[in-house]
Amino acid sequence: MDIDDLLTPDAVIARLKVGSKKQALQELAKKAAQITGLGERAIFDVLLERERLGTTGVGNGIAIPHGKLPELERIVGVFARLDRPIDFDAIDEHPVDLLFLLLAPESAGADHLKALARVSRLFRDRATCEKLRGTDRADALFAILTSQTVAPSA
């Protein structure tokens, strides 16, 4: 599974201006609703519910909020580069400035986990994160995200 299986150019937000985790999740839900045709509130509720289980702020300025929706037909991603880092209750207590939202059908099972693992591997590469932080153009961000070829972990 590649990032371009999850992400389309219109699902990249280059300079998201938010002041809180809740606001970031609302904006991601709004963008995901535009892409999927599903209700913004339903998406937001799923994301909030997941955050209550534990933060999706994985450290190093990165968060991967995710959830499952029964109405969804395929796994969908939304990427946002924040204008300014925000507190996201990340595991390393550092603010977050790179967000990758993943939404999956309830029936996705292993594919959802594979998509999460793929996004996680992408963000483990410091050079990729530096490139993402170094541009505020959506087309450049999409190119960086989709040009990374990361070998699957064994």
Our CA angle for 20, 10, 101, nearest 5°, is: 40
Say whether pLDDT at 152 is over 90: no
- Judge if pTM exceeds 0.85: yes
CATH for 3-147, options being 3.30.2350.10, 1.25.40.10, 3.40.50.300, 3.40.930.10: 3.40.930.10
Give the pLDDT confidence of 25-71 residue by residue, as tens digits.
999 999 999 999 999 999 999 999 999 999 999 999 999 999 999 99
Backbone angles phi, psi at 116, to 5 degrees: -60, -45
CA distances, 91 to each of 57, 61, 83, 98 (Å)? 6, 10, 21, 15
Q: Which residues are catalytic?
A: 66
